[in-house]
Structure 1
Amino acid sequence: VITLNTNAGLYNQSDIVAHFKSSSFSVIDALQYKLDGTTSLTRKRGLKLATALSLNNKFVEGNHDSTISLTKRNMEASVATVAKVQCPVLKANFRQDLTGTMKPKPTISSSINLKYDFASSRLHSSAKGSVDHKLTLESFTSESFAPYLSMETATKSGITGSVLSQKYSGAISGEANSYLDMKSTRSSVKLEGTSKMDGIWNVEAKENFAGEVSMEHIYTVWEHSGKNHLQLRRGLSTNGEQSSKVTLELAPWMVSSLIQVHASQPCSFFKKASIDQLATLSASLKDQRASWKGEGHIQTVSLNHNMQLSNDPTEIRLDLASSLEGYMSFLKDTPLPVYDSSLWDILKLDVTTSADKKQYLNISGALVYTKSRTGFQFSIPVKETAEAFIIPRPDLQSLASSANLESDYIRLAKKTSMAPFALSLPSLPQVKFPRVEVSTEYSAPEQSTLPFFRVTAQEFQITLSPFTLPKKLALAGSVLDLNEVVNKIADFDLPSFTISEQNIKVPTLTFWLPAGIFVP
């Protein structure tokens, strides 16, 4: 037999309040519960909505509280939820907190915590662990002189237990950060994890990533490291470690990169097994360099290699080197059916060496191309005047006799400018571009190896006009006034949120355009 009781009430006086109650009664304890809920809307000096819920049961308990406050100067919100589970095989506690405010700067904070404990004698299994998560988000305000957006998050979790009486454990943690302002963007991510099963495996791993992007520079780095151990019942076991790193850097007319890898994984069959590799790249307008070197080992055999490539104003050079070392006793067990003897005997290696000595094979070479400063030049004819550069058009009569050219030359002004203009889009701030001065210079073949045009755009500043978040929205051919909606609930107007004028600085940009071909 189950008896249910439910009551609800709505009161509209100075405040609007709603109550809800529900309960049950039964000879079975698991079917009995009590639920209470209250919601209130306060209209004094703003708008405030508060809600509270509570649930009681033999196996489940929970509470929820939330508040939203809106005034002419600020907006705040908070949410808190707590839950508890009590079952014969499972116990768990959960809590979540969320807060947000607009003053003194827009901030949102969130935290989640979960703890659990599972145990089953029938399954001979158990699990106990926890999970924690935190998030913080910040932004700029209209009074801020340096607007920015920042986000930080962190997560940690761990578990221990057993499956069929076999113990295990594991853990995961991660952190992420991001920062954005008018000049650059920075981000980083960090992850760590472990997993262990007693007597079978043990694994660890770490990951790190970081990057920064700005108008003049880009840099990223990624790192990995890990360890592992595996043990099987039939005597197969392995124990290894790995690490790697990758970097990339970009700047105007410059690039550099690095790739590094290391891995070692000996096992029951190979007592030694490893590999190491390193590759680098560096390039600029003046010179370029690339390299690749590495080594590998399997048992007593090792292989090494090294390659270097460079290009500078004087020469282009390529260097290669490689080596192989190890024991050659295995040739005694390599028979040749035609000769009815082993390869060791045919080569008569007993005369020059023995089976217990290492053998070495080295190979190296170099290729060099020496550049000449005179070389061969093929330049575009350029005539310079006081205000411009005159480039004659090529003679295309042999290719198209019927072509009608408007003029016989191309004119490049030494100084010119781009007129200012503004970009406006609905419901978005106006973007203003100022006048930009552009200059062109010519480097004759006598002044440099290769003639070129140097085009320079002077530093300028992009302006974002002040912007106020709209209170009216156009929807399906009609206009929705948010103030009218709020006024029907309370004698209150929505606050105004204004983003102040922002400036984005663009540095001087320079481009080199070749005006010929040079073969050194």
Structure 2
Amino acid sequence: MSASVDTTYNHQVNIPMIGFTNGASVTQKAVARLEDTTITLTVGNDGAIKFNSHKGTHKCDLYFAISPSTAKLTISADTDTAQLKMKQTMNADAVMYSHITFEARSEAEGPAIKNSLLVASGNANLGDMKVELKANHDTELVGGLSGNQSNSLTIKIHPIEVVFDFQNKGNIKLSFNEALMAKIDLQNDYSATIKPEAQQINTVALARFNQYKSSYNFTIDNNEKEAGIFATMNGEANLEFLTNPISIPEIDLPFINMHIPAISDLNLYEHTGLKNILTTTEQSLDVDSKILYQKSQFHSLGNLITELSLKLPIFNLNANAGLYAEDDLVFRLGATTASVFEALKTKLDGTTSLTTKRGLKLATALSLENAHIEGNHDSTFSLSTDNLEAAMSVATIAKIALPIFNLEANQQLVADTKTKPNAASTLKLKGDFNLPLIKAVGRAEADHSLKLEGILEYISVESSTKGNIDGTILEYNAVLGALDNEANIYLNADGLRSTSKIIANAKLSNGETTILEMYVDENLAVEASVSRVYAVLKFASNNEANVITFKTKGKHVAQATIDFAQLTSLTADVEIDMFQPSNVGDITLFEKTVVELTGPKQKISTTAKIATPVYTTNLAAELKGDVPAFKAKLKSSATSVINFLDYDVDASFTASFENEALSVNGKAVLTHADLTMDIQNVITQAMR
């Protein structure tokens, strides 16, 4: 047995517009029905409008039905006017404890919109706990701003998967006038997929303005075998506008009174040097990079890999680096470059490995290849866990080749602790140069070595440096130079011994004529202990110069000996002899100092002889101490072409302490062209 109830509602509205032949009317009809346990509602709307000479209609129908277990909704609408045309539909169904679905569509047209379409659908299924939502929107524009724009959205939610995807694209043309027009492309895409066994996130962006374009793609990916980050970037640009000549009018700056002349037909592409660097005005940039972690199936560290690729019209770069953890821990590095310019072509390879079997061993190998730079490096460090013995070796070879300069370098280092801790290092340099600007051509070599030994009983260090240079400057002038330096240090429980030797020579000559020359020979020896220090220094130097009208040739010699016994004695002998004759006058310096200091006796004496073209002086000073008396003497005289500088001094001083009395005697005589002084002092004082 069933029952039904119907209810109908009709409504009509007319709206006249006073003073015009225009108006609008709307008719609405609604019917509601109850049949058994189902309620249905039907609504219809009809409308019409007239404005001036334009007519328009609007129609909308709605149907809705609901029962205890289901529900259904249907909507359709149609609008047709001179300014807007639109059609819309929507259908939705629901079943209790089962699913909910809907579909919607909207289409529109207008003066600036040729077509706009929106389509959306959704589904929620309670049985498999899945929700889906999709939407697409496409628009076509006309007029001054024309083109296409589209958007899409997809969402899926499921207990074992979540998917999100959004896409936005636009191709637009903007017209200001017939001559000025801009084309614009835009794109933004985002997507994400999440599953228990894998996850991925991706984003894409693109932008283009006329001939300029840039884009990037960024992805994060994770699955059972690997996890990675991937990124790409691209760019394009056209520099053709720089080839069009420009003109700059003349400019006057009144405040600083400066005038800048006019510039006409200036080509920036040529004058800035871009023409010589860039092979084309169409420039592009491509970058690809990734960071990838390869997961290990045996619960170790796994592998980490990175890669980078860079591409330009004149330069390409490919680089990679990886950290691999299998039996050993290995790091690898590689890079290559390619270019239209030979100097930018490079190859780099490197490997570092760490081994922990039967100890610790770290090995590194690195190589570099280039038209101007080349090098190789190898090093090894090892440590034995059985006896803690350590060893290290390092070898580096490098070459530099330039149009004006070439250099080769070789470095070696070896160290170990097997028999005793020791290390040896050598460095060899060899090169040549060619400087056309000053017409300098030559070659040079240098060697350096260092040896070290050390145990609990002693430490020994040996160092040696040798070098030479041979070349010409300004074509006809020869340049020669040499250096020889050796130093040794030995330290043990008894004390320190050290020696050092330096021999250096530099010469600039023109044929058989010496322009500049310098020679140095220096030797130093030191012995030191807790109770005594003994040092000997010997120095000799020769020099010669023939520059324009100046000529000189000199010889310098110095030597010193010091012997110091702690709290006992100090003896020193220092002698300096310098002779520098020249065509403008001679300079002579001689100085000798002697020191003898012991407990009961002390003596210090100094003698000096200095001669210059305008001044000559002699000095003799002496201090003697022989308990209980002390004596001091001073004699000094000077002669000069300037009479006022002539003088003569003779002075003496005596002090003694005998029979509990202090006696002091002193006298001094000064003789000068304008002054003569004779001073005598006698002091006696009894001590009580």
TM-score, reference length from structure 2: 0.45
Q: 1:37 to 1:362 in 2, by over 3 A?
A: closer
Residue 167 of structure 1 pairs with residue 478 of structure 2 = yes
For the residue of structure 2 that corresponds to 1:23, the secondary structure is: strand
Q: Please give the root-mean-square deviation of Cα atoms over the aligned residues, in Å.
A: 3.3
Does the C-alpha gap of structure 1 residues 19 and 249 become closer, same or farther in structure 2, counting only changes over 3 Å?
Answer: same
Whether 1:46 and 2:359 are equivalent positions in the alignment is yes
Q: How does 1:364-375 map to 2 (within 5 A)?
A: 372=658, 374-375=659-660
For residues 404-449 of structure 1, the C-alpha deviation after alignment (integer angstroms, 9 at most, x for no partner) is: xxxxxxxxxxxxxxxxxxxxxxxxxxxxxxxxxxxxxxxxxxxxxx
Change (3 A) 1:261 1:12: same
TM-score of the aligned structures, taking structure 1 as reference length? 0.58
| 1:155 alignment partner in structure 2 | 465
Name the counterpart of 1:75: 390
In structure 2, the CA distance between the partners of 1:284 and 1:51, relative to structure 1 (3 Å rule), is same
Q: Structure 1 pair 371/117, CA: closer, same or farther in 2 (3 Å)?
A: same
Q: Secondary structure at the match of 2:542?
A: strand
State the secondary structure of the residue aligned to 1:200: strand
**Secondary structure at the residue paired with 1:30?**
helix
Give the match for residue 51 of structure 2.
none
- The structure 1 residue matched to 2:436, chosen from 121, 138, 142, is 121
1:88 aligns with 2:399: no
Say which SS state the counterpart of residue 583 (structure 2) adopts. coil
1:289 pairs with 2:593: no
User: 2:575 is paired with a residue of what secondary structure?
Assistant: strand
Q: Which residue of 1 aligns with 2:570?
A: 255
| Mapped partners of 2:339, 2:616: distance in 1 | 78
Which of 625, 643, 648 matches 1:311? 625
2:401 and 2:638 map into 1 onto residues whose CA distance is: 66
After superposition, residues 374-413 of structure 1 pair within 5 angstroms as 374-375=659-660
Aligned twin of 1:192: 503
Please give the alpha-carbon distance, in whole angstroms, between the structure 2 residues aligned to 1:301 and 1:120. Answer: 46
Distance, in Å, in 1 between the alignment partners of 2:317 and 2:622 is 84
Offset, 1:250:
1.6
Shift of the 67–519 alpha-carbon distance from structure 1 to 2, 3 Å rule, reads: farther
Matching residue's letter, 1:204: Y
> Counterpart of 1:105?
420
Per-residue deviation at 1:65? 0.5
Q: What's the counterpart of residue 512 of structure 1?
A: none
Alignment partners' CA distance in 2, 1:364 and 1:120: 62
Separation (CA, whole Å) in 1 of partners of 2:610 and 2:371: 64
- Letter paired with 1:243: V
Provide Cα deviations, 1:124-179, integer angstroms capped at 9, x if missing partner.
123421221111222115xxxxx222222111222223333333222233222222
In structure 2, the partner of 1:219 is 534
- Does residue 516 of structure 2 align to residue 205 of structure 1? no
Task: Show structure 1 runs of 5+ residues with no match.
Answer: 142-146, 335-360, 378-517
Aligned CA distance change for structure 1 residues 363 and 83 (closer, same or farther; 3 Å) = closer
Instruction: Tell me the residue number matched to 2:343.
Output: 30
For the pair 1:139 / 2:449, whether they are aligned, the reply is no
Deviation at 1:195, TM superposition (A): 2.0
Higher Cα Rg, which structure: 2
Which segment is superposed worse, 96-105 or 182-191? Answer: 182-191
Pair 299,182 (structure 1): closer, same or farther in 2 beyond 3 Å: same
Q: Percent identity?
A: 32
**Residue in 1 aligned with 2:327?**
14
Tell me the equivalent position of 1:246: 560
**Equivalence map 1:302-381=2 (5 Å):** 304-313=618-627, 315-318=629-632, 372=658, 374-375=659-660
2:551 to 202, 227, 237: 237
Q: Secondary structure at the match of 2:398?
A: strand
Q: Distance in 2 between matches of 1:85 and 1:302?
A: 56
Name whichever of 74-83 and 116-125 sits farther off.
Answer: 116-125
Report the equivalent of 1:278.
592
Q: In structure 1, what is the equivalent of residue 89 of structure 2?
A: none
| Secondary structure of residue in 2 paired with 1:262 | strand
The structure-2 alpha-carbon separation of the partners of 1:7 and 1:365, relative to structure 1 and needing over 3 Å to count, comes to closer
One-letter amino acid of the counterpart of residue 174, structure 1: N
| 1:103 match: secondary structure | coil
1:264 aligns with 2:562: no
Q: 1:60 to 1:302 in 2, by over 3 A?
A: closer
Correspondent of 2:377 among 54, 64, 79: 64
Change (3 A) 1:55 1:304: closer
The letter for the 2-side match of 1:309 is L
Counterpart for residue 457 of structure 1: none
Q: Distance between the aligned counterparts of 2:633 and 2:423, measured in 1?
A: 58
Distance 1:19 1:369 in 2: 84
**Separation in 1, partners of 2:321, 2:650:** 91
Q: CA deviation at 1:46?
A: 0.3
Structure having the larger proportion of residues in strand: 2
Amino acid at match of 2:527: E
Q: Which amino acid is the alignment partner of residue 63 of structure 1?
A: N
Q: Residues 275 and 90 of structure 1: is their aligned pair in 2 closer, same or farther, counting only changes over 3 Å? A: closer
Please list, as runs of the form range in 1=range in 2, the aligned pairs for 1:430-445 lying within 5 A after superposition. none
Q: For 2:403, what is the secondary structure of its paired residue? A: coil
Aligned to 1:337: none
Distance 1:275 1:267 in 2: 14
Give the letter for the 2:376 counterpart.
N
Q: 1:42 to 1:279 in 2, by over 3 A?
A: same
| CA distance, structure 1, for counterparts of residue 340 and residue 540 of structure 2 | 59
Could you tell me how far apart the structure 1 residues matched to 2:373 and 2:587 are?
A: 55
How far is 1:298 from its partner? 5.3
Paired with 1:21 and 1:10, the residues of 2 have a C-alpha distance of 12
Cα pair distance change 1:519/1:287, threshold 3 Å: farther
Q: CA deviation at 1:370?
A: 6.7
Alignment partner of 1:267: what SS?
coil
Q: Quote how far apart the aligned CAs of 1:81 are.
A: 0.6
Distance across 1 between alignment mates of 2:321 and 2:630 = 88
- Structure 1's 304 and 60: CA in aligned 2 closer, same or farther, altered over 3 A? closer
Q: Work out the CA distance in 2 between the residues paired with 1:8 and 1:290.
A: 73
* Residue 371 (structure 1) shift: 6.2
1:302–1:62: structure 2 CA closer, same or farther, 3 Å change rule?
Answer: closer
Taking the aligned partners of 2:523 and 2:479, their CA distance within structure 1 comes to 26
